[in-house]
Amino acid sequence: MVQKVYLSNYELKEALSEYLGRIKHSFLNKELLNTEEALGRVTSEAVYSKISSPFYNCSAMDGIAVQSLKTIGASEKRPITLEEGKDYLVVDTGDPIPREYDCVIMVEDTVKIDGDKVKIYKSAAPWQHIRPLGEDIVENQLIVPSGHMIRPVDIGAMLAGGVNTVEVYKKPLIGVIPTGTELVDPGSNLKIGDIIDFNSRVFSAQVTQYGGIPKRYGIVKDNYDILKSILKKAVSECDIVIINAGSSAGREDYTSDVISDLGEVYIHGVSIKPGKPVVLGEVENKPVLGIPGYPVSAYFIMDKILKVIIEGYQGKKTEKVQRLEATLSRRVMSSLKYLEFVRMKLGYVGNKFIATPLSRGAGSTMSLVRADGILEIPQNVEGIEAGSKVQISLMKNIDEIKNTIVCIGSHDPILDILSDLIHVKNPDYYLSSAHTGSMGGIMALKNGETHIAPIHLLDMESGKYNIFYINKYLKGKNIALIKVVNRIQGLMVQKGNPLCLKEISDIYKKGVRFVNRQRGAGTRLLLDYYLKKLNISPKDINGYEREEFTHLSVAAAVASGDVDCGLGVYSAAEIMGLDFIPVCNEEYDFAVPEEYLEMETIKELIDIMKSNIFLKELDRLGGYDYSSIGRVITHNDKKLTFAKKVDKDVHLKAIDRV
Amino acid sequence: MVQKVYLSNYELKEALSEYLGRIKHSFLNKELLNTEEALGRVTSEAVYSKISSPFYNCSAMDGIAVQSLKTIGASEKRPITLEEGKDYLVVDTGDPIPREYDCVIMVEDTVKIDGDKVKIYKSAAPWQHIRPLGEDIVENQLIVPSGHMIRPVDIGAMLAGGVNTVEVYKKPLIGVIPTGTELVDPGSNLKIGDIIDFNSRVFSAQVTQYGGIPKRYGIVKDNYDILKSILKKAVSECDIVIINAGSSAGREDYTSDVISDLGEVYIHGVSIKPGKPVVLGEVENKPVLGIPGYPVSAYFIMDKILKVIIEGYQGKKTEKVQRLEATLSRRVMSSLKYLEFVRMKLGYVGNKFIATPLSRGAGSTMSLVRADGILEIPQNVEGIEAGSKVQISLMKNIDEIKNTIVCIGSHDPILDILSDLIHVKNPDYYLSSAHTGSMGGIMALKNGETHIAPIHLLDMESGKYNIFYINKYLKGKNIALIKVVNRIQGLMVQKGNPLCLKEISDIYKKGVRFVNRQRGAGTRLLLDYYLKKLNISPKDINGYEREEFTHLSVAAAVASGDVDCGLGVYSAAEIMGLDFIPVCNEEYDFAVPEEYLEMETIKELIDIMKSNIFLKELDRLGGYDYSSIGRVITHNDKKLTFAKKVDKDVHLKAIDRV
């Protein structure tokens, strides 16, 4: 294995300025456009009017054009009568005023006498209600300066000023070349080893957003010569070319070599994370970039480098990203070697913004979908402590963040459904959930980081749910419980239950591969409760250490055949087409500080939980008893929370379906 | 003349809510798009993944896939040797991991021995560097909710999750029908009475900005039957139709009648200014709007009504316009009857935002180009006092406003050139000038509303320029003068000087029509100085009352033949192709508070004033002596300002050209 080395480890700023210096000779090409087609384009020279507007004296009102001299002395008592043709001309707004008239009287100020006569009761001043030539625009007047981005109102003023064509900077055509033998187009029949080429589609959309025109080429296999010939073609057809990926140091990463072969690589490697293995080069005087393959790395390279290039190419100014100050909910570590971009979730809880880091995996497209903003941790900083004030660059609208119910805690598939329904019912409202497990939810409440915490926490001693933990960990806070569902937990096993598992103790059987939930998850506590009761040591369970973060991902691991079983809810098994062995019922509730019960968003959430449309969804998923749904138990009622036994019918119904 | 009456005088909010209620049945039509083409569109239903991503366990690194069991005990002292094929498989990032392996060792942590053997020095944990199936996206997971505007990252996650098509709301196709016998397309040979149809082009650009698709129809003459048949056609082809104009009460305003004829008019007239005469109706279940003809009225109707309709049609949320608090520089009056939208210029002067109203004429397209924001004055409010704090809805970026040199005072064509050059040299800098005359500039300095004030103020007693006025009106302020030019003022007359005017006293001649500058203009003071010297009474000058605000508009009035002469600078006469009779030289300077001399923008301005490129422009325009240009005279040097006599050569050169 030959390991390639990066040519460089530039800082981002330095790399960008070095690279822009090398390639900017290819920027700012001009073209002449019809003015009406120039929306959003940048003027390459100052635009001066060619004619005045109006280019003749015209009426500013509907009425009659007269000579002001003939109106002198008119009054309520002594009106003056004027005759059409002799004394006046009927004019509408915009009509030209012939030389012989010097003012206009509004139709409202005239009284018709007969066919061609009117009376007026007030004299008219010279130039009254006349728009003189050049009132709006005078010939040779500056309309917009060079370097101005053309808006609809500019198009109006230019056309009014006789400017029918305008010289602007060209938009760049960006060639996008996806490479990789493993890549397949979306919609292909997938087989193990295939990777769907979504990157090139994301790039095309980003290029469009930045103001360029994307041109996507077909997938190029990992073959040096083919890549070389396609790059040659793309460079001849486009203004800028990006190659994805092969910019790293794997066996088949040809991007850097091919660019060197046809032109020059200036920079290979920038000290940012994600995004390090970028290639910045030039072929035949056109910028050519190698973009890393991991979608999150690619995203940041596009956003931090290609955006600047595309905007610079056409003379656009980069708009400042909106930032917001937030309090960091947990410590974020960082490498001293890199400028790091950390995807953050923002919550507006208790009148302040709380920022929580999302997954930092470079392969997590969903973390970009979920992110509200980005935290930049400078190079040479080891990390930032919890509680620090940090600046977050926003990826979403502030109002959207302010109207979002933050929901941190235990995962259940119904959270996705609630998140959709609340937004459908009120397009201004959102629910965003982070899956940290029930104990994570309790801690988030304690730290004031969440509005609601979905929890299902079994007290090992009493066998009771939720209240014990609230009393223990959230003492002194007025926490209410919104009842949600009693749900069936059980073993998810492959279709047909090939290992014939029957009860929770069967996971101890030889050869059975289990998948666990993460520490702090209610389901993990439930497992531990049973192991303790059955006197089984965790280290005797094959797979106790393998942790997943949601019911669905446990179900997916079982479905894939990697493991034989996992503990989770019925609905997740149902969604993934698994068999299900019920183990017990448990109370899944939302813990919420009582003050937040007054929030409009939380009121709406409770309404939706009780709505028929939501209950139907619960029936469809199966395994839920919702007889208490939406009931709010405040701090003072807490004795009520020792809930009744689960409805046996629901339990049986679920088992029937298995 | 039959005067039509408006059907209604709705408040804007009420009109909008009433109209939306009537037409919203036609909104939210769905269509299925390829996911990769759905950028910026709004989902009509929640999007759930169809497959997991990755959909098999794969390598997160370039390296080798091994069984973790075989690595137990490896250390620096006792490395373990592994053999390809038997113990390991070489994998690149993204490659699938076959069942027999359970972890990946990074290439950096292996040492090659020979062809197919490597040594490792550290044991590997199970699942290390493996991306398990569903790590990013689990099958059936919510990707984006309904009503979500699709971004590039959403396209990535959807395609990764096997969602290749997505249901979104349709973009509306907006038919734009320009009407009016007087309308001509841009580029036509213009004759008196023609109006260039720029409105329909501005509408098309606005529709595009709002997210609709414009379809512009040809110009329709003022003919009821033709308009009716075109409207029928447009309604059958488009989703929404707008007709411009004919929405008012002139003789040929058919819009309302035609809509009633084919469908129904719900609202005719809304109590906003500009914009009142709007028609809101429906034909064959499609919204049809009549938009007023004045460009500024049309702009506000488009922005306040059609934007909401286009966004609502496709499920987009209207983003809040950014607002900013500013101090009102002068009193703004308003009608009690209307909600008024006043175009405002903003300046960032002395660390606060100052808002100054621009022209309120409904025909002034340039006022929209120049506006930085809009002040809304509610109905039933008579006006707002100078010095009040007001909220301005921004039309430009805050940074742009902060980096703009505010220049209020006397007009000269060179201000347009400086405004362009400063922006070309530094794309972040702007210069914006308001033409209030020299005395207006002095007052703006006094009130802290401007950075610089261009002035040319002749003291009637001493015959000296500028200093006298600064000492008199700005006592106690440290005001410096930036020397600009000595310029030639004279009479602008029609080409060939048909009336054979020779000197300033000739404007007193019988039959000579004069055009004056506004009160407070330096040129007006200059005229008054001469009239006093010559003992001529202003009321004996024909046209003394007709006021224009710039040299160029005086020149335009002369060029049009409306008047015979006006007083102004040589360069304006030159631009408009007029003859010029020199009267005197005067000192045109920038007054500036000394503290602002430290601003980067002002330093840049002075640099540009001294640059060759600018001096060449002065030569091209002619009539300027720039021997002192850019010299700064501070408060303490003021004796220096009694400048030397003008260079006679420049004077003569200018006369030669006449």
Phi/psi of residue B505, each to 5°?
-65, -15
- pLDDT band (50, 70, 90) for residue B657: very low
Which tokens sit at A36? 């009406």
Closest chain A CA to residue B252: A92
Whole-number pLDDT of residue B10: 86
Whose tokens are 């759905």? That residue is: B38
Residue B487, domain member (yes or no): yes
Whole-number pLDDT of residue B658: 30
Average pLDDT on A220-224 reads 91
Q: Are residues A478 and A574 in the same domain?
A: yes
| Distance of alpha carbon A171 from alpha carbon B529, whole angstroms | 55
Closest chain B CA to residue A42: B427
Residue B625, domain member (yes or no): yes
Identify the residue among A84, A196, A359, A518 best suited for mutation to test binding to B, counting B beta carbons within 10 A and taking the highest: A196
Q: Are residues A199 and A298 in the same domain?
A: yes
Which tokens sit at B84? 């390809």
Q: Do B366 and A107 touch (CB under 8 A)?
A: no
Residue A433, domain member (yes or no): no
Give the best-scoring range by mean pLDDT among A360-374, B36-50, B400-414, B525-539: B36-50
Q: Do B107 and A3 touch (CB under 8 A)?
A: yes
**Structural domains of chain B, count:** 5
Share of residues in chain A with pLDDT > 90 (%): 57
Label residue B12 exposed, middle or buried (CB < 10 Å: 0-12, 13-18, 19+).
buried
| Distance of alpha carbon B584 from alpha carbon B590, whole angstroms | 20
**Over 50: is that where the pLDDT of B640 sits?**
no
Q: Which residues pair with A624 in a beta bridge?
A: A487
Residue B182, domain member (yes or no): yes
Closest chain A CA to residue B39: A205
**Over 90: is that where the pLDDT of B551 sits?**
no
Q: Do A156 and B201 touch (CB under 8 A)?
A: yes
Q: Do A51 and B545 touch (CB under 8 A)?
A: no
| Distance of alpha carbon B420 from alpha carbon A146, whole angstroms | 6
Q: Are residues B112 and B85 in the same domain?
A: yes
Which tokens sit at A91? 């004019």
Smallest Cβ distance to B155: which of A135, A202, A424? A202
* A112, A414, B269 from A72: Cα distances, Å: 19, 81, 34
Residue A445, domain member (yes or no): no
Whether cis (ω within 30° of 0) applies to the bond prior to A186 is: no
Q: Do A201 and B156 touch (CB under 8 A)?
A: yes
Q: Are residues B543 and B625 in the same domain?
A: yes
Domain that holds residue B155: 30-54+136-169
Average pLDDT on A56-84 reads 90
Whole-number pLDDT of residue A247: 60
A369 vs B contacts (CB less than 8 Å): 143-144, 153-154, 157
Whose tokens are 């006569």? That residue is: A117
Smallest Cβ distance to B93: which of A54, A293, A369? A293
Average pLDDT on A562-567 reads 92
DSSP B305: I
* Nearest residue to A55 via CA among B182, B513, B199: B182
> Which is more confidently placed, B360 or B225?
B225
Q: Are residues B469 and B611 in the same domain?
A: yes
**Over 70: is that where the pLDDT of B540 sits?**
yes
Whole-number pLDDT of residue A510: 83
B555 vs A contacts (CB less than 8 Å): 138
Identify the residue among B84, B154, B195 best suited for mutation to test binding to A, counting A beta carbons within 10 A and taking the highest: B195
Q: Residue A364: give its domain's CATH number.
A: 2.40.340.10
Distance of residue A374 Cα from the nearest chain B Cα, in angstroms: 14
**Over 90: is that where the pLDDT of A467 sits?**
no
Smallest Cβ distance to A155: which of B136, B205, B555? B205
Which tokens sit at A617? 């969804």
- pLDDT tens digits, B437-490: 888 899 889 988 899 999 988 887 777 788 888 888 888 888 999 999 999 999
Q: To the nearest 10°, report the CA torsion of A559, A563, A569, A574.
A: 20
| Distance of alpha carbon B463 from alpha carbon B449, whole angstroms | 28
Q: Residue A275: give its domain's CATH number.
A: 3.40.980.10
Whose tokens are 């393959």? That residue is: A293
B108 vs A contacts (CB less than 8 Å): 3
Residue B318, domain member (yes or no): no
**Over 60: is that where the pLDDT of B16 sits?**
yes
Whole-number pLDDT of residue A418: 94
**Over 60: is that where the pLDDT of A638 sits?**
no
C-alpha count within 13 angstroms, C-beta hemisphere, residue A643 = 28
Biggest distance spanned by C-alpha atoms of chain B: 116
Whose tokens are 């034909």? That residue is: B283
Whole-number pLDDT of residue A8: 65
**Over 90: is that where the pLDDT of A521 sits?**
no
Give the best-scoring range by mean pLDDT among A192-201, B118-127, B533-542: A192-201
Which tokens sit at B143? 């990707």
Local structure of A343: helix, strand or coil: strand
**Over 70: is that where the pLDDT of B656 sits?**
no
Whose tokens are 């001493």? That residue is: B462
Which tokens sit at B602? 């002002």
| Distance of alpha carbon A88 from alpha carbon A101, whole angstroms | 8
* Nearest residue to A309 via CA among A68, A54, A18: A18
**Over 90: is that where the pLDDT of B253 sits?**
no
- pLDDT tens digits, A571-611: 889 888 899 999 988 899 999 999 999 999 999 999 999 99
Q: Do A557 and B134 touch (CB under 8 A)?
A: yes
DSSP A657: H
Distance of residue B484 Cα from the nearest chain A Cα, in angstroms: 20
A148 vs B contacts (CB less than 8 Å): 423
Find all residues with CB under 8 Å of B279, minimum gap 6, and list them.
Answer: B243, B247, B255, B256, B259, B265, B267, B268, B289, B290
Q: Which residues pair with A573 in a beta bridge?
A: none
Q: Residue B165: give its domain's CATH number.
A: 3.90.105.10
Asked if residue B347 lies in contact with residue B406, where contact means CB atoms within 8 angstroms, the answer is yes
Identify the residue among B33, B149, B201 best suited for mutation to test binding to A, counting A beta carbons within 10 A and taking the highest: B201
Q: Do A428 and B315 touch (CB under 8 A)?
A: no
Q: Are residues B329 and B469 in the same domain?
A: no
Identify the residue among A32, A166, A204, A369 best suited for mutation to test binding to B, counting B beta carbons within 10 A and taking the highest: A369
Residue A216, domain member (yes or no): yes
Whether the ipTM is more than 0.95: the answer is no
| Distance of alpha carbon B262 from alpha carbon B232, whole angstroms | 8
Q: Are residues A297 and A350 in the same domain?
A: no
Give the best-scoring range by mean pLDDT among A104-118, B89-103, B147-161: B147-161
Phi/psi of residue B306, each to 5°?
-65, -35
Whole-number pLDDT of residue A654: 37
Identify the residue among A49, A99, A135 best suited for mutation to test binding to B, counting B beta carbons within 10 A and taking the highest: A135
Q: Are residues B483 and B619 in the same domain?
A: yes
Which domain-ending residue is among A81, A104, A131? Answer: A131
Which residue spans within B97-188 are E strands per DSSP?
103-106, 110-114, 117-120, 130-131, 142-144, 165-169, 173-178, 183-184
Q: Are residues A495 and A559 in the same domain?
A: yes
**Over 70: is that where the pLDDT of A494 sits?**
yes
Phi/psi of residue A477, each to 5°?
-100, 140
Distance of residue B239 Cα from the nearest chain A Cα, in angstroms: 22
Q: Do B94 and A182 touch (CB under 8 A)?
A: yes
Q: Residue A67: give its domain's CATH number.
A: 2.170.190.11
Which domain-ending residue is among A268, A293, A313? Answer: A313
Helix (H) or strand (E) holding A621: helix A612-621
Distance of residue A635 Cα from the nearest chain B Cα, in angstroms: 33
| Distance of alpha carbon B612 from alpha carbon B619, whole angstroms | 10
**Over 80: is that where the pLDDT of B251 sits?**
no
Q: Do B155 and A552 touch (CB under 8 A)?
A: no
Q: Are residues A17 and A108 in the same domain?
A: no
Find all residues with CB under 8 Å of A136, minimum gap 6, and list them.
Answer: A53, A54, A157, A160, B361, B363, B364, B365, B366
Whose tokens are 């092969």? That residue is: A246
Share of residues in chain B with pLDDT > 70 (%): 95
Share of residues in chain B with pLDDT > 90 (%): 57
Output Rg (C-alpha) for chain A, integer angstroms. 35
| Distance of alpha carbon A486 from alpha carbon A457, whole angstroms | 12
Q: Do A140 and B576 touch (CB under 8 A)?
A: yes
Q: Are residues B504 and B652 in the same domain?
A: yes
- pLDDT band (50, 70, 90) for residue A252: low
Helix (H) or strand (E) holding B46: none
Closest chain B CA to residue A318: B428
Distance of residue B473 Cα from the nearest chain A Cα, in angstroms: 31
Q: Are residues B427 and B540 in the same domain?
A: no
Query: Mind spelling out the 3-state secondary structure of B492-507?
Result: EECCCCCCCCCCHHHH
Number of other CB atoms surrounding residue A424 within 10 Å? 16
Please tell me the pTM assigned to this model. Answer: 0.86
Residue B493, domain member (yes or no): yes
Q: Which residues pair with A64 in a beta bridge?
A: A90, A105
Angle, alpha carbons A410-A416-A422 (nearest 5°): 115
* A1, A250, B95, B140 from B110: Cα distances, Å: 10, 14, 18, 39
Closest chain A CA to residue B5: A108
Distance of residue A77 Cα from the nearest chain B Cα, in angstroms: 23
Smallest Cβ distance to A295: which of B3, B62, B156? B156
* Nearest residue to A141 via CA among B365, B202, B552: B552
Q: Residue A602: give its domain's CATH number.
A: 3.40.190.10
Helix (H) or strand (E) holding B329: none
**Over 50: is that where the pLDDT of B431 sits?**
yes
Which domain-ending residue is among B107, B131, B155? Answer: B131
Query: Mind spelling out the 3-state secondary structure of A217-269?
Result: CCCECCCHHHHHHHHHHHHHHCCEEEEECCCCCCCCCCHHHHHHHHCEEEEEC
Asked if residue B260 lies in contact with residue B231, where contact means CB atoms within 8 angstroms, the answer is no
Q: Do A134 and B562 touch (CB under 8 A)?
A: no
Identity of residue B12: L
* Nearest residue to B525 via CA among B577, B456, B448: B456
Distance of residue B36 Cα from the nearest chain A Cα, in angstroms: 6
- pLDDT tens digits, B609-622: 999 999 999 998 88
